């Protein structure tokens, strides 16, 4: 069995993007044209349909019934943030990394926290080749100026409301750090590929007059080359990291996860 869930969100009400839907449609086309996957094995969830409820329901579909030898892919392109929470006494006590569904509103009910993703993926058994790609920001440093390159460049990080930003300042003063999506990957049977460090912001840019996530664009370019699908995935991410830096983008793709999977090609495709 092989399944893919590809989530791309452009139409955030308060902070729209241009590239995420292009990212996931390009990934779907890559899987069917280059990797031999069937269209029915791939589910796309985009824009207004990509609510928290819908994403969590489809994640359940993705992992349901997974057995040794299966291949699974979860690709998310959209906004990501760090989200501080308060305890029962009103004190800031925790900092989570969050991916943002289209209905994200800074409430617990509309955020997909790292802990929820951990719970969604913890039942995946050994022997399943599960790759999770997140082309989003996991950064709280939003005081950095927005750069422009050839007319268009945007960060994939939701602007912080003043009250949430103040909580983030308190969290930093307390020395709180999120458990993080990277830690989630370390403890589960999967490979997690992120577009940037958890202290950085991921960008999207206009490539040949069409917007894509910087990481997704260069990642698919690299594995689409003749030897790309035969190259172990940690080597691919290392090479893509070099290319992104050489091209002048200030983000550092990361990879974590089960050592056995890190040493295999993308989704064991070769």
Sign, Cα dihedral of 119, 121, 125, 127 = negative
Q: Is 75 a known active-site residue? A: no
Q: Is 137 a known active-site residue? A: yes
Distance, CA of 77 to chain centre: 6
- Pairwise CA distance, residues 61 & 3, whole Å: 9
Quote the tokens at residue 187. Answer: 């403890």
Active-site annotation holder among 100, 137, 157, 196: 137
Residues labelled catalytic: 79, 137
């Amino acid at each position: 069995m092989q399944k893919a869930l590809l989530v791309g969100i452009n139409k955030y009400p308060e902070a729209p993007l241009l590239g995420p839907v292009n990212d996931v449609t390009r990934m779907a086309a890559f899987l069917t044209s280059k990797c031999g996957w069937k269209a029915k094995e791939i589910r796309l969830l985009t824009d207004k349909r990509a609510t928290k409820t819908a994403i969590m329901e489809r994640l359940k579909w993705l992992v349901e019934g997974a057995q040794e030898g299966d291949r699974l892919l979860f690709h998310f392109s959209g906004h990501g943030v760090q989200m501080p929470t308060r305890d029962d006494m009103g004190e800031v006590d925790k900092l989570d990394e969050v991916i943002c569904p289209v209905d994200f509103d800074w409430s617990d009910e509309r955020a997909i926290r790292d802990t929820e993703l951990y719970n969604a993926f913890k039942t995946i058994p050994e022997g399943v080749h599960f790759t999770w790609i997140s082309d989003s920001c996991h950064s709280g440093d939003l005081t950095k100026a927005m750069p422009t390159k050839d007319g268009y460049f945007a960060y994939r990080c939701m602007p912080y409301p003043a009250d949430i930003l103040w909580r983030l300042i308190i969290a930093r003063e307390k020395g709180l750090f999120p458990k993080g999506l990277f830690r989630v990957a370390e403890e589960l049977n999967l490979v997690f590929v992120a577009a940037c460090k958890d202290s950085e912001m991921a960008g999207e840019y206009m490539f040949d007059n069409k917007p894509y996530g910087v990481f997704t664009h260069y990642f698919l370019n690299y594995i689409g080359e003749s030897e790309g699908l035969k190259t172990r995935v940690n080597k691919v991410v290392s090479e893509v990291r070099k290319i992104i830096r050489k091209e002048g983008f200030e983000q550092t793709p990361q990879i974590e996860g089960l050592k056995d999977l890190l040493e295999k090609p993308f989704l064991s495709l070769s």
